Amino acid sequence: MFDTFTLTILPYLAVVGFVLHTVLRRDNLGKAALADQLLTSRSRFWGTAPLHLGILLLFVGHALVLLFPVALIGWNVDPIRVFLLETVGLAAGWLVLFGLIATLISRVTCANLRKSTSLADVFAELGLLLAVATGICVAVDVPSGSLWAGHVVTPYLSSLLAFSPDVDTVANLPLVGRLHLLGGWVALFFLDLGRVVHLLAGAFTWAIGPARLAGWRASASVLTLLILVGCEPNNQGYQPTQPIAYSHAIHAGVLKIPCQYCHIGAERGKHAGIPPASVCMNCHSQAVKDSPEVAKIAAAVKSGKPIEWVRVHRVPDHVYFNHSAHLAGGLKCQDCHGPVQAMGRVKQWAPLTMGWCLGCHRTGGKGQESDGLSRVDSHLTDCVTWHH
């Protein structure tokens, strides 16, 4: 019941509340402006400056993660980059937590500020407090918790936008993850557009002073260097030209030849294998014999030289991957290789990064287009299982 309300009903109520508060706050702008002026005074600088700066960092970070989940998965292939990302997020979370506590104390201790404070302000800040506190818990206690955003939360939010909430995956998150979402929805319900703009713009007001610009430029240079050094592109989308124009769309799609007819090793061991040219000639000794591409295959069989296919899918040497284990677990070839039956020339469909693999292992395959792995346990996410 709790999950049904917080994950299915509350998100839409939060949007309605945000719109209503935005409209109603127009009639009380003087009171809101006084509260903002009191909060941003010099005497409360060390409360509001961390709050605004942390909110801006968290907002930009969450927006980038939710808009570009594939980029997040690619970034998280390297543990060092995961550490860098989550350290920045954790620092921003502590800034916001400190700023929120200072702001709430100010609302209680300052008489003028107390008079200009509405219940919506208090509940919005309490919602943010819950979201930030649980976010810090995730960053501290959950290894690679940032992967939830790309693999779980983004599909969930997309389903909300499509008015078809899919809460199954989100409901499997630990309680701290669900409370994080709850805090966000509560904050959104009591916030309004003016307050959001003020929270985000306040960071710029504090940050663009002439004395701070040099520091920001130096920080930007260091961050750019870290990104350039740390970003290791994956081969997603790689689609090399092959020595023979073989079409999976015809063989696997139109003719519906099973994948294992050619890739016989997939069910038996680690490697799926590339079929020898003689397997191709089982059919092409009778079918489509006049094709120039078939002529190349026949020439290879006659000469005894293997066809030099260009490898498309590759995982690092330190990764142990076994095709037979995944097929035995209930996965389909398409879950990792994509809609091969529709590809004229094969390309790498998935990023095949550590983050992408772990996202599937943690949800039992629910992140892919399959019925899921037959079991989900610590063995699937144990480092020693895949790196030995």
Average pLDDT, the chain: 78
Q: Cα(247)–Cα(341) distance, rounded to whole angstroms?
A: 9
CA-closest candidate to residue 272, choices 260, 263, 281, 261: 263
Q: What percent of the chain has pLDDT over 90?
A: 11
The pair of structure tokens assigned to 356 is 């992408």
Mean pLDDT of 175-185: 88
**pLDDT tens sequence across 46-65:** 667 788 788 888 888 888 87
Is 60 exceeded by the pLDDT of residue 365?
no
Q: Which of 24-33, 104-113, 247-256, 305-314 is predicted least confidently?
A: 24-33
What's the pLDDT score for residue 197? Answer: 73
What's the mean pLDDT in 278-284?
Answer: 90
Instruction: Calculate mean pLDDT across residues 310-320.
Output: 85
Of the given ranges (69-73, 298-302, 366-370), which has the lowest mean pLDDT? 366-370
Cβ 93 vs Cβ 135: under 8 Å:
yes
Q: What is the pLDDT of residues 193-215, one digit of tens each?
A: 877 776 666 566 555 555 455 55
What is the spatial distance between Cα 82 and Cα 72, in angstroms, rounded to a whole number? 9
Mean local confidence (pLDDT), 110-118: 73
Q: Which long-range contacts (CB under 8 A, 24 or more apart) does 251-255 make?
A: 252/340, 252/341, 253/341, 253/342
Task: Report residue 194 as tokens.
Answer: 């003016």
Query: Which phi and psi (to 5°) does residue 33 adopt?
Result: -65, -40
Read off φ and ψ for residue 244, nearest 5 degrees. Answer: -130, 135
| Residue 190 backbone class (left: φ over 0; alpha: ψ -120 to 50; beta: rest) | alpha
Are 275 and 264 in contact, with CB atoms under 8 Å apart?
yes
Q: Can you tell me the distance from the alpha carbon of 13 to that of 20, in angstroms, rounded to the nearest whole number?
A: 10
Quick: pLDDT tens for 61-75: 888 877 887 777 677
Q: Is the pLDDT of residue 33 over 50?
A: no
**Stretch 283-310: mean pLDDT, rounded?**
89
Is the Cα torsion angle 183, 186, 190, 196 positive or negative in sign? positive
Is the separation of the CB atoms in 367 and 153 below 8 Å? Answer: no
Per-residue pLDDT of 152-170, as tens digits, reads 788 888 888 888 888 776 7
| Neighbour tally for 145: CB within 10 Å | 21
Q: What is the pTM of this model?
A: 0.52
Contact 94, 370 (CB under 8 A): no
Question: 289: helix, coil or strand?
Answer: coil
Domain residue spans of the chain: 2-230, 238-256+310-388
**Quick one: what percent of the chain has pLDDT higher than 70?**
76
The tens digit of pLDDT for each residue in 249-276 reads 999 989 999 998 999 899 888 889 888 8
Q: Say if residue 142's pLDDT is above 80.
A: no
Is the pLDDT at 356 greater than 60, yes or no?
Answer: yes
- For 168-199, letters b (16+ CB in 10 Å) and e give ebbebbeebbbbbbbbbbbbbbbbbebbbebb
Residue 67 CB partners (closer than 8 Å, separation 6+): none
Query: How many Cβ atoms sit within 10 Å of the Cβ of residue 152?
Result: 21
Alpha-carbon torsion (326, 330, 334, 335), positive or negative: negative
CA pair distance 84, 370, nearest whole angstrom:
33
Class at the top of the CATH hierarchy for domain 2-230 = mainly alpha
pLDDT value at 221 more than 70: no
Separation of alpha carbons 82 and 353, rounded Å: 13
Q: What tokens were used for 164?
A: 């078809």
CA distance 328 to 299: 37
Predicted confidence band at 375 (pLDDT cuts at 50, 70, 90)? very low
